[in-house]
Structure 1
Amino acid sequence: MQPIIEVDQLLKAFGNKSALQHIQFNVHQGEIFGFLGPSGSGKTTTVKILTSQLLPTSGTVKVFGQPINKMNDSSHKRRIGILTDNSALYERLTIQDNLELFCRLYDVESKRIAEVLEEVNLANDRQTMVKKLSKGMKQRVMLARAILHKPDLLFLDEPTSALDPVNTLHIHEGLRKLNREGTTIFLTTHNMMEAESLCDRVAFIHDGVIKAIDTPQQLRLAHADQSMTVLVKGEGKRVLQQNEESAQRIGQWMLEGRLLSIHSNEPTLGDIFVKMTGRELQ
Structure 2
Amino acid sequence: MKKNIKLKIDHISKQFKEYTALNDINFEIGQGQIVGFLGPSGAGKTTTIKIVTGQLKQTSGNATILGMDSRKINQEIYKRIGIVSDNSGFYEKLSVYENLRFFARLLDVPIFRVDELLEQVGLSEHKKKKASKLSRGQGQRLILARAILHKPEILFLDEPTSGVDPAIAEGIHKLLLALKEEGMAVFLTTHNMNEATKLCDKVALINKGKVVEFGSPDQLCLKYNQDLSYDVLLRNGEFHRVSQQSKSITQVREWLDSDQIETIHSNEPSLEKVFLAVTGEELI
TM-score by length of 1: 0.93
The unaligned stretches of length 5 or more in structure 2 are: none
Please state whether the residue corresponding to 2:54 is helix, strand or coil: coil
Give the Cα–Cα distance (whole angstroms) in 1 for the partners of residues 64 and 188 of structure 2: 17
The offset of 1:3, in angstroms, is 2.4
Counterpart in 1 of 2:175? 174
Give the Cα–Cα distance (whole angstroms) in 1 for the partners of residues 197 and 257 of structure 2: 36
Counterpart in 2 of 1:207? 208
The offset of 1:29, in angstroms, is 2.1
Task: Summarize the Cα distance change of 1:132–1:235 in structure 2 as closer, same or farther, 3 Å threshold.
Answer: closer
> Residue type of the partner of 1:242?
Q
8 A Cα contact 2:6 2:153, kept in partner: no
Counterpart in 2 of 1:35? 37
TM-score by length of 2: 0.93
After superposition, residues 236-251 of structure 1 pair within 5 angstroms as 236-251=238-253
Counterpart in 1 of 2:17? 15
- Shifted more, 41-50 versus 159-168: the winner is 159-168
- Shifted more, 19-28 versus 251-260: the winner is 251-260
Counterpart in 1 of 2:60? 58
The offset of 1:259, in angstroms, is 4.4
8 A Cα contact 2:201 2:217, kept in partner: yes
Cα deviation 1:15-53 (Å, max 9, x = unaligned): 211111111111122211111111111111111111111
The offset of 1:254, in angstroms, is 5.0
- Shifted more, 15-24 versus 251-260: the winner is 251-260
8 A Cα contact 1:119 1:170, kept in partner: no
The unaligned stretches of length 5 or more in structure 1 are: none
Give the Cα–Cα distance (whole angstroms) in 1 for the partners of residues 44 and 184 of structure 2: 24
Confirm or deny that 1:275 pairs with 2:251.
no
- Shifted more, 253-262 versus 240-249: the winner is 253-262
8 A Cα contact 2:137 2:168, kept in partner: no
The offset of 1:212, in angstroms, is 0.8
> Residue type of the partner of 2:273?
D
Give the Cα–Cα distance (whole angstroms) in 2 for the partners of residues 104 and 234 of structure 1: 64
Task: Summarize the Cα distance change of 1:232–1:180 in structure 2 as closer, same or farther, 3 Å threshold.
Answer: closer
- Shifted more, 250-259 versus 188-197: the winner is 250-259
Counterpart in 1 of 2:115? 114
Task: Summarize the Cα distance change of 1:257–1:201 in structure 2 as closer, same or farther, 3 Å threshold.
Answer: closer
The offset of 1:118, in angstroms, is 1.8
Please state whether the residue corresponding to 2:140 is helix, strand or coil: helix
Give the Cα–Cα distance (whole angstroms) in 2 for the partners of residues 136 and 190 of structure 1: 18
Give the Cα–Cα distance (whole angstroms) in 1 for the partners of residues 237 and 122 of structure 2: 47
Cα deviation 1:98-127 (Å, max 9, x = unaligned): 111100110001111112212221111111
8 A Cα contact 1:11 1:23, kept in partner: yes
The offset of 1:202, in angstroms, is 0.8
Please state whether the residue corresponding to 1:35 is helix, strand or coil: strand
